[in-house]
Amino acid sequence: MHDDRTLVEARLKRVLDERIRPAVHPESVPLDVAVWHAPGEPVPVADGLAATPEPIAVGDRWGAPWGTSWFTVTGVVPAAWAGRTVEAVLDLGFDKNMPGFQCEGLVYRSDGTPVKGLNPLNDWVRVGSPVEGGEEVRLHIEAASNPVILDYHPFLPTKLGDKETAGTEPQYTLARMDLAVFDETVWQLVMDLEVLGELMAELPVDAARRWEITRAVERALDAVDLQDVNGTAAAARERLAGVLAAPAAPSAHRISAVGHAHIDSAWLWPLRETVRKVARTASNMTALLDSEPAFVFAMSQAQQWAWIKEHRPEVWAKVTKAVAAGRFVPTGGMWVESDTNMPGSEAMARQFVHGKRFFLDEFGIENDEVWLPDTFGFAAGLPQIIRAAGSKWLLTQKISWSRTNTFPHHTFLWEGIDGTRIFTHFPPVDTYNCSMKGSEIAHAARNFRDKGVARHSLAPTGWGDGGGGTTREMVAKAARMRDLEGSATVTWETPAEFFAKAEAEHAAPAVWAGELYLELHRATLTSQARTKQGNRRSESLLREAELWCATAAVRAGHPYPYEQLDRIWKTVLLHQFHDILPGSSIAWVHREAERTYAAVAEELDALVGAAQRALAGDSGRGAPLLFNSAPHTRDGVAAGGAAAPATTGETTVLPREGGGHILDNGLLRVEVDGRGLVVSVYDQAAGREAVAPGQAANLLQLHPDFPNMWDAWDVDEFYRNTVTDLVEADEVAAGDAPGSVRVTRSFGRSRVRQLLSLAPGAKRLDIDTEVDWHETEKFLKLAFPLDVRADRYASETQYGHTYRPTHTNTSWEAAKFEACNHRFVHLEEPGWGVALVNDSTYGHDVTRAVRAGDSGTTTTLRASLLRAPRFPDPETDQGVHRFRHALVPGATIGDAVREGYVVNLPARYVAGEAEVAPLVTVDDDAVVVTAVKLADDGSGDVVVRFHEAHGGRARATLTAGFPLAAVTATDLLERPLAGTPYEHEGGAVPLSLRPFELVTLRLRRSPDARP
């Protein structure tokens, strides 16, 4: 037979596009339209409904950037349409290629009840089925004219990303506002032909099934009268029934479709818009659940649920009803879909505490699965946190975005730094926006790498990024693929149902140990430095606030600010969302984040101050007491206590031969040359030089930085090809503070001021850097070439540290050319190491070179300070920034941990007459306390969380500074764990910890000991 395949395929495309799809709405009449443009920010629904609108016509421009317009559409269903299905087709001027990135609307009835959302691929509202004719129609649309930021030519700088710079030019043209007859049979024919046409294209050309479908499609097209599609659609469908009824092969891949809408909590829109995006999507999904009995929808991010509850009670009522029916499913068990590289230990834990608690409190539902489809890589500390939160499964598809290496598994066990293993699934469909296209379903089946031992995968199905969710078309296509020859099978299921099946069928999954590094978006560790600094400062302040408020509550009966801390934590957790903390949002988001962090800092400072005054006594008399918030003794003051600090020697500053200065405190001898570079850091006890011979540390290096795509997200490896060393100094002089040197430099349009200081008694060179940054598309690094040979280096992550190689033997290591640290990076030769600690930078790189002269190895450690991408925020990082780093020669991992806390926690002094004893003491520095707080349940129990921080075994004694009634190990949500209770005697609790083991203890106080 002749091969006429392409002829049939081209015919199918043209007839569908030009004749069959237009016949879905064969008759229509225009609606009358009026509009009221809200003058500023969004108004309450009642105000929008009550406003007096002005007439507007289809074809008119509307919608200033970030504006809100309330449309009122009215009309009467023609009497001639009696008995038919009628819809309003409301096209606000949508570009169908941009669901989630355009104008959007939420349709209301006049009484304020929401009907459903409108977006580019969901522009209809059902009026009646069947109608009687003569019905009056009156609908209201709260329309948001969100401008397009990510356009057809993506990544061009735009001023549209902030209301303050976006202007007032209308963004959209009102396209269609009609009442229309909906022909269900034609619509079903479209679905039949789409599913078969898309399946056909995926089948091998020599497969009989492909030809069976081709011939059936041809027969169906023959049956369509192109002048009477509506009258002949049923006959065409009959000719497809046979091929649609053929069942799937027994070995077919099995897809669990989960209805979903990925909604970025802020990104190319501000937080306030997400509140409305969530309401629109949730309204659409409750409407879809009503009409599609097999459909299931899952929504993550407790914060988004909380927004619906707070701002859209009428939508919340529908959502809670669907949750009770088990079909609108909370998933993920986190406050937001956060970044997981940068959040500190406690913050990462609290994402789960607040997320899971919300779903437990509202619905009694506990999530076992973690849902992070779009997060930019996964820190090796995360598995233990997932387990400690009481969860056991993880889903993400993001690692499929890696540009260099292909991850070898889709279903596997992910092993974290402490040995915790989490059953993990990467949907092989490689998207969180599956739309049930044949190409996606076939890709999932082909791509799935665990064939032969597993058969199930998950497909998050629905429009996302900016929301939208699943459409009736996706549900219709899924129904046809439920059991269809040549296709993977598709069944609607909850994430938990999928994971239970996947785990049951996979007896011995492969294991991946260590971080899940995303080989893309590496610049998210640096972009928007002020947002990152706000996060780090907030995390440190929350530690201080909980510690001192708990201590003051127990010691002085000071009221514990439960609700305030709860609220602040949720604010900080929201800003760890995977486009806020990573710095990939529009200017509006980051400008607002900076203000929010400032308010958080003010509030927490006040809490800390009040608690410390309550402890020190309000008299204002006495010597300054140092309140030590760190987990280790500081200047002679016990961790968690307050006392007068011990005095410790002095630092001398001498002129250096050849220019510059020499700082010496008896522990370190530091030479700063005439260029302000550190040419020697000599560890006097070890008799060892830290800086590589002939090189200089504290070297600022400037690179051009214009990635091929995703400006705020990406730094491409070629940035290293060009570098300018900033060695010219404007001034190098002894600093005002004792033991310090001041350095000033200018470059480009920017200026740097540094203070290098060697505190008495400290084995640490402090480097405070202030940059007034006015560069474009540049990357600023602070380099430390060290005379250390190390195959690997350690970077702090949650509840421990992770190792990465310093070599680039394979493509996997070469791809990690920019990586994440928390407070420290550490590298060592046996017996002697160096740490670089920081107060707010996350990105860094480590490279090594073997020197020609002495064959020694130089390992260069560089902190990433600033970038200047122009998309999506054209002014990213412009202005003044302050960073604090410290070089710690001779450092063990334990020293790195300790000094990391020191640079992040300010020394706070309060005048007081009596020392404050710590609430909790641990007698081994390897056991690091990350939180001391009162239990969230208001019982007054003290909760203390700690972990083994050196990567070894620890035996220690925890001593409570109050009479103990009982000690219970708990999960992160402070719920008791099964097992024997902890022994305690005289307030002392013996501890034994595995490497990096995380433990939460609830300490019940003796009733008679309460103040």
Q: Which are the catalytic amino acids?
A: 374
By C-beta, is 374 or 997 nearer to Zn ion?
374
Based on the shown chain and the rule CB under 5 A, indicate whether residue 339 belongs to the binding site for Zn ion.
Answer: no
Region 539-598 residues binding Zn ion, contact defined as CB under 5 A? none
CB of 337 to Zn ion, least distance (A): 7
CB of 519 to Zn ion, least distance (A): 18
Region 96-135 residues binding Zn ion, contact defined as CB under 5 A? none
Distance CA(696)–CA(786), nearest Å, equals 9
By C-beta, is 91 or 264 nearer to Zn ion?
264
Apex 677 CA angle, 676 and 680, nearest 5: 125
Residues 6+ apart with CB under 8 A from 513: 415
Quick one: which segment of 40-48, 373-381, 731-739, 969-977 binds Zn ion (CB under 5 A)? Answer: 373-381
Q: Contact at 8 Å (CB) between 710 and 579?
A: no
Whole-number Cα distances in Å, 326 to 269, 293, 619, 652, 877 = 31, 12, 59, 71, 45
Left (φ > 0), alpha (ψ -120 to 50) or beta: where does 885 sit? beta
3-state secondary structure 749-785: CEEEEEEEEECCCCCCEEEEEEEEECCCCEEEEEEEE
What are residue 461's DSSP bridge partners? 259, 434
Give DSSP secondary structure letters for 84-141. SEEEEEEESS--TT-TTSS-EEEEE-TTS-EEEEEBTTB-EEEEESS--S--EEEEEE
By C-beta, is 491 or 584 nearer to Zn ion?
584
By C-beta, is 194 or 374 nearer to Zn ion?
374
Tokens 């649609």 identify what position?
Answer: 244
CB of 399 to Zn ion, least distance (A): 14
Q: Contact at 8 Å (CB) between 282 and 308?
A: yes
CB of 709 to Zn ion, least distance (A): 16
Token couple for 8: 């049939």
Distance CA(910)–CA(926), nearest Å, equals 29
By C-beta, is 457 or 524 nearer to Zn ion?
524
Quick one: which segment of 367-375, 416-424, 597-605, 652-660 binds Zn ion (CB under 5 A)? Answer: 367-375
3-state secondary structure 14-28: HHHHHHHHHHHCCCE
Q: Contact at 8 Å (CB) between 795 and 825?
A: yes
By C-beta, is 174 or 586 nearer to Zn ion?
586
Quick one: which segment of 369-377, 728-736, 941-949, 983-991 binds Zn ion (CB under 5 A)? Answer: 369-377
Whole-number Cα distances in Å, 506 to 275, 295, 454, 585, 704 = 39, 26, 6, 39, 48
N- to C-terminal Cα distance for the chain?
94
**828 closest CA partner among 895, 764, 781:** 895
CB of 48 to Zn ion, least distance (A): 29
CB of 890 to Zn ion, least distance (A): 43
Q: Contact at 8 Å (CB) between 618 and 909?
A: no
CB of 264 to Zn ion, least distance (A): 4
Whole-number Cα distances in Å, 95 to 103, 155, 516 = 9, 19, 36
Quick one: which segment of 86-94, 258-266, 272-280, 438-446 binds Zn ion (CB under 5 A)? Answer: 258-266
Region 755-814 residues binding Zn ion, contact defined as CB under 5 A? none
Quick one: which segment of 52-60, 368-376, 719-727, 887-895 binds Zn ion (CB under 5 A)? Answer: 368-376
CB of 577 to Zn ion, least distance (A): 8
By C-beta, is 466 or 785 nearer to Zn ion?
466
Token couple for 322: 């669907």
Rg of the chain in Å (alpha carbons): 31
The residue whose Cβ lies closest to Zn ion is 374
By C-beta, is 267 or 982 nearer to Zn ion?
267
How many Cα atoms within 13 Å fall on the side-chain side of residue 119? 31
The 10 Å Cβ neighbour count of residue 749 is 11
Quick one: which segment of 100-108, 259-267, 469-477, 584-592 binds Zn ion (CB under 5 A)? Answer: 259-267
* Count of chain residues binding Zn ion (CB under 5 A): 2
Tokens 């459909």 identify what position?
Answer: 295
By C-beta, is 86 or 261 nearer to Zn ion?
261
With residues binned 3-state (H G I as helix, E B as strand, rest as coil), the percentages for the chain, rounded to 5, are 30, 30, 40
By C-beta, is 411 or 431 nearer to Zn ion?
431
Token couple for 998: 């995380």
Quick one: which segment of 198-206, 262-270, 355-363, 565-573 binds Zn ion (CB under 5 A)? Answer: 262-270
> Which amino acid appears at position 777 of this protein?
E
Distance CA(528)–CA(526), nearest Å, equals 7
Q: Which of 142, 369, 374, 941 binds Zn ion (CB under 5 A)?
A: 374
Q: Cis ω on the peptide bond leading into residue 874 (within 30° of 0)?
A: no
CB of 963 to Zn ion, least distance (A): 49
Q: Cis ω on the peptide bond leading into residue 509 (within 30° of 0)?
A: no
Quick one: which segment of 263-271, 610-618, 696-704, 843-851 binds Zn ion (CB under 5 A)? Answer: 263-271
Q: Which of 142, 198, 264, 899 binds Zn ion (CB under 5 A)?
A: 264
Helix axes 313-324, 302-311, angle to 10 degrees: 130
CB of 12 to Zn ion, least distance (A): 35
By C-beta, is 337 or 369 nearer to Zn ion?
337
The 461-480 site mask, x for binding Zn ion (CB under 5 A), equals --------------------
Quick one: which segment of 244-252, 374-382, 600-608, 610-618 binds Zn ion (CB under 5 A)? Answer: 374-382
H or E element in which residue 882 lies:
strand 879-889
CB of 262 to Zn ion, least distance (A): 6
| DSSP class of 975 | P
By C-beta, is 586 or 929 nearer to Zn ion?
586
By C-beta, is 253 or 398 nearer to Zn ion?
398
CB of 578 to Zn ion, least distance (A): 6
- Strand order of the β-sheet with 988-993 is 920-922, 954-960, 988-993
| DSSP class of 192 | H
**384 closest CA partner among 792, 796, 995:** 995
The 484-503 site mask, x for binding Zn ion (CB under 5 A), equals --------------------
CB of 477 to Zn ion, least distance (A): 24
- The residues binding Zn ion (CB under 5 A) are 264, 374
